[in-house]
Amino acid sequence: MKLKYDETLSNFAFNSNLRHYTLAVTGAAALSSTLAVTGAAALSSTLGVVGITTLADDLLMPENTAALTHTGTTGLAITSNSGYVDVEDIRFTGAAIGVSGTPTVVTVASGGAAVTGTLSASGASTLVALTAGATTVTSTLSVAGRDIHSSTSQLNLSRFRHKSTP
């Protein structure tokens, strides 16, 4: 089969009975309609796409240290129209952050964050009420050291039991 130039259409055309052959293009080529490829396609350089790109399957990136880079001037949105977004072992579902087995560990809102379960901290930790009032612990507050301090002149402890140490 041969590729022949059609002078009436100003383009190249294959004979109509061509089935499985390779088209090699050297230099720039323009396509003004849809390119349908039923097999694999290999590009030896960058693929530039203008407009929305739809992928019907997974995007695999075999590079050792691959990067997904945003170069716009505002932000980057990674969203799911019907469920959650997993990044490594962390699951994001709306304003909830969690893991696969417990999808809501932290809930983030404009006024702060709520923690479901245990909040652990190593090192010095400070709880501060952003408005006038108190920082409230509604369950058990465990202090591994011996000191609880107040930066004001008053420290209120209800149902406080003091245990002497020798």
Distance of CA 92 to the CA centre of its chain: 8
Sign of the CA dihedral running 163, 164, 165, 166:
negative
Listed range (48-52, 109-113, 159-163) with the worst mean pLDDT = 159-163
Q: Could you tell me the maximum CA-CA distance found in the chain, to the nearest angstrom? A: 105
Which pLDDT does position 126 carry in this prediction?
Answer: 72
What pLDDT was estimated at residue 89?
Answer: 92
Q: Which residues contact 21 (CB under 8 A, 6 or more apart)?
A: 1, 14
Least confident among 8-12, 64-68, 82-86, 122-126: 8-12
For residues 86, 90, 91, 94, the Cα torsion angle rounded to the nearest 10 degrees is -110
Choose between 27 and 53: higher pLDDT.
Answer: 53
Each residue of 52-93: pLDDT tens digit?
A: 988 889 999 889 999 999 999 999 999 998 889 999 999 999
Do the beta carbons of residue 3 and residue 12 sit within 8 Å? yes
Sheet containing strand 90-93, strands side by side = 85-87, 90-93, 96-98, 106-109, 112-115
Residue with tokens 């170069």: 71
Q: Where are the domains of the chain?
A: 82-117
> For residues 31-66, b (16+ Cβ closer than 10 Å) or e, as one string?
eeeeeeeeeeeeeeeeeeeeeeeeeeeeeeeeeeee
The predicted structure's pLDDT at residue 91: 94
Say if residue 103's pLDDT is above 80.
Answer: yes
User: So what's the pLDDT on residue 15?
Assistant: 53
Q: Which helix (H) or strand (E) holds 112?
A: strand 112-115
- Give the mean pLDDT of 10-33: 65
- And the tokens for 139? 């369950």
- The pLDDT of 99-115, averaged and rounded, is 91
Tokens of 162: 């003091």
